[in-house]
A and B are shown apart, each in its own frame.
Chain A
Amino acid sequence: MQAALGHPFVIALPFAVGLLFWLIAIRERQIGRIQGLSFFQRNGTAVGLFLIVAVAFWAVFMIVLPQLFMVEMSFRPKLPPSAMGGPRDVYTLQNYHYFLFGSATSSAEWNVVHIRAFWLTIIASILVTLGNFLLCYPLAFYMAQVATAARLRFLLLLLITPYWVNEILRAFAFRVIFSTGGLINKLLMGAGLLSEPIDFLGLDVGMYAGLSYAYLLLMVFPLYNAIENLPKAQIEAARDLGAPWWHIHAFIVMPFAKPGIASGCTLVFMLTSGALAAPLVLGGPRSLWFTPIVYDRFYQAFNWPQGSAYAFILLLTCIAFVLAVMRIGKLSLGEITR
C-alpha cells in the first residue's frame, strides 16, 4: 500500500474524532438529552476559546499526532529523502521483521540479541518493581499510619531532596561505588578479601543496583497517599479482634491501598523499562537493556523507521502492563493515575 497519503490521513484523524463527538453532543442537545448551559455559554467566548485551543494543541499536537506519526513511520521502509513518496514508499512490516530475525527479509535466524534484551528488560523491570514495592511499603505505611505529624513532616522533607536529583547523577553515584576503582572494590581490597578488583559494572551488578535505586521514591508517594486515607480505626478494630499483623496488612491495608499500589507499580515499571540513563552510564559493554538499543537505532544506525518500530514495541509492552494491572486489580485508569 502506498504510504504517500498516510500523513494527511493521520493528521485528519484526531480532528475527525473531535468533530464527531462535537456533532453528537449538538444532536443530543437538540433532542434534549443534554441540558444546562453550553460550553461557550458557561465559559464565555474568550475563556472558552482559550480552553479549546490549549487543550486541542496539547492533546492533538503534543500527544496524539506524535504518537500516530511514530506508529505510522514504523511501518515504512528506510528511504533516502529523494525516494520518499516514490514507488518504494509503501507500508511494510520489515522493521518488525528485523526485530525478530535481525534482517529485513530473511527469516532464517532469530534476532537473539534484541529479543533477549527485550525479555530481560521486561523481567528485570518486573523484579525491580516488586523489589521497590517491598522496600517502600513499610516506609509508606509508617508515614501514613504510625508517624506523628512532626515526624511525618520531617520524613517528607527528607524525601524531597533526593527526588529532584536527576537520573544521570543517581547513576553516576552508583558508578562511584561500583567501578573497578570504586568504593566497594577499595573496601574489599583494603580488607584483604580481594586481590584483584571485581568488574561490577561489566557484570551488570551496577546497572541493576542503579535501576532499583533510581525510581524508589516514585513508589513511596503513591503508596503513602493511598494508605493515608485508611481510617486508623479500621486497623485498631482488626487488632482488637486479634488479627495478626501480617493479616492486617494483607487483608485490610493492601486491599484498601490497591489503587496506590497499582499506581506506584505502573510508574516504576514504566520508568524502569524505559530507563536510559542507568543502562548508558552503568551498563557493561554488552548492552543488555532494550532502551539503549532503541537509542542506537536512531543515533548509530540512523534508521528512524526501525527505531520507531522498536519504540512502538516498548510502548505496547507498557500498555500491556497497565492493562494487566488494571485487570488484576479491577481498577480503572482514573484510579491508577490519581
Chain B
Amino acid sequence: MNARQVMRVMVGFYLVLFFAYLFGPLIIMGITAFNTAPYPTVIPFEDFTLQWFDILFRDKDMMIGLQNSLKIGVLVVLISVPCGLAGAIVMQQVYARARSLYYLVVVSPVLTPGVIIGISTIIFWKDFTGATGIGFLYDGLILAALGQSSFISAYCMLIFLSRLQRFDHALEEAALDLGASNAQVFRHILIPYLRPAVLSAAVMAFLSSFENYNTTTFAILSDKTLTTVLAGRVRQGSTPAISALAVTIIAITVAGTIVYELVKRREDARKAAQRRTAQDAERRELAAA
C-alpha cells in the first residue's frame, strides 16, 4: 500500500466515524421509539410497536404546543422576511458614516445568546406595553415571534445580502430608463430577482422558529410551544413518546430534503438546457455571419 492509499483509507475511516457520531445518537433514539419497553432503550428490544406515536399524537399539551409553534412560525416568517429584506436593501444604501454602526446593530442578534434575546424581549415589552397602554401585545405568542424575529431577520438579511451582491444594478437603471417608477422597479425587477432568496429565507425562518428553544422559553410567558412542552416532558422523565416525536420530525425533514433536492435537480436541468440553446444559437449565428 502506498502513501496515497493509506491516506484514502484514513479519510474514509474518518468520514465514517464523523457521520456515525452525527447520526448514531439520532438513530439510537429513533429505534427506541419502536420498542415496547416503557423506558427509551434499545437493548433489550422487546417488541416492535407504534404505540408511542399513538400516545404522542393524543398528547393534548403537545398538540397545543404544536399549533402555537406553527402560528409563531408563520408570524416569524411574516416579520423576518420583510425586515431582513429591508435591512439588506438599506445596508446597500445607508449613509457611509452610519454603515458600520448600522451593521453592528443589525447583525448583533446573530452573535447574542438566545436566552439573552428572550430575556430582553420580555423585559422591554412588559414595560413598553404597560406604559403605552397596548397591553394586549404582551402576549406569549407575539413576544416569542418578536424575540425570534430579532435574530431570524438577521439571518434573512444575510441571505438577501449575498444575493444582492450579485445583482446588476444596471437592471434597475434599465427599467427606470424605460419609464418605470421607483415602486415599479422594486416590484418588477428587484423582488423577482430576489424571489429565490425570499423563498429560502422563508423556509429557513420557519424552521429556525420551529426548532427554537432558548429564546422561546423566556418569551413565550405562560403559553407553550412544541419545544417548551417537549423540554418540560424531558425534564419530568424519559418516555419513548419523545423518541417518537424525534422520529416524526426527522422523517419530515428527510422528506423535505428529498423534495428540495428533486426541485433543485429539475431547476439545474432547466438551466443547462437554456445554456445549450444559447450556445447553439451562438454557433448558428457565427456560421451565418
Contact = CB atoms under 8 A, between A and B. Distances in A.
Interface string A43-87: 110111011101101110111111101100100000000000000
Give chain A's interface residue range (CB within 8 Å of chain B). 35 or more
B77 interface: no
6 contacts: A17-B101, A58-B150, A181-B41, A274-B114, A337-B158, A338-B162
A334 B103 contact: yes
Given A54-B87, A135-B18, 15 more contacts: A46-B183, A47-B186, A58-B150, A62-B153, A66-B117, A66-B150, A161-B257, A168-B230, A170-B25, A172-B238, A176-B41, A181-B39, A270-B112, A271-B113, A338-B162
A303 B73 CA distance: 30
Interface in B175-204: 181-183, 186
Interface string A117-153: 0000000000000000001001100100010000000
Interface string B18-56: 110111011011001000000111110000000000000
Interface in A154-189: 157-162, 164-177, 179, 181-183, 186-187
Contacts of A70: 116, 119-120, 123-124
A95 interface: no
Contacts of B28: 173, 176-177, 183
A266 B111 CA distance: 7
B146 interface: yes
Interface stretch (A108-116, A230-238, A247-255, A306-314): A306-314
Contact of B109 (A63, A162, A277): A63
B90 interface: yes
Contacts, number: 265
Given A47-B186, A58-B106, A315 B26 contact: no
A59 B108 CA distance: 10
A161 B254 contact: yes
A195 B238 CA distance: 23
Contacts of A166: 210-213, 227, 230, 249
Given A63-B109, A307-B119, A333-B103, A44 B213 contact: no
Interface string B192-226: 00000000000000010011111001100000000
A338 B158 contact: yes
Contacts of B97: 21, 24-25
Interface of B: 11, 14-15, 18-19, 21-23, 25-26, 28-29, 32, 39-43, 82-83, 85-87, 89-90, 93, 95, 97-98, 100-117, 119-121, 123-125, 127-128, 131, 146-147, 149-150, 153, 158, 162, 181-183, 186, 207, 210-214, 217-218, 227, 230-231, 234-235, 238, 242-243, 245-246, 249-250, 253-254, 257, 261
A169 B124 contact: no
For the complex, would chain B's binding face be called helix, strand, loop or mixed by DSSP majority?
helix
- Across the A-B interface, give the 9 residue pairs with the lowest CB-CB distance, nearest first: A274-B113, A44-B182, A54-B86, A66-B120, A166-B211, A173-B25, A70-B120, A66-B124, A173-B29
Given A55-B90, A139-B15, A333-B104, A315 B116 contact: yes
B106 A63 contact: yes
For the complex, would chain A's binding face be called helix, strand, loop or mixed by DSSP majority?
helix
Contact of B124 (A46, A65, A315): A65
A242 interface: no
Interface string A263-282: 00011001101111100110
B115 A146 contact: no
Contacts of B87: 54-55, 58-59
B25 A280 contact: no
A63 B150 contact: yes
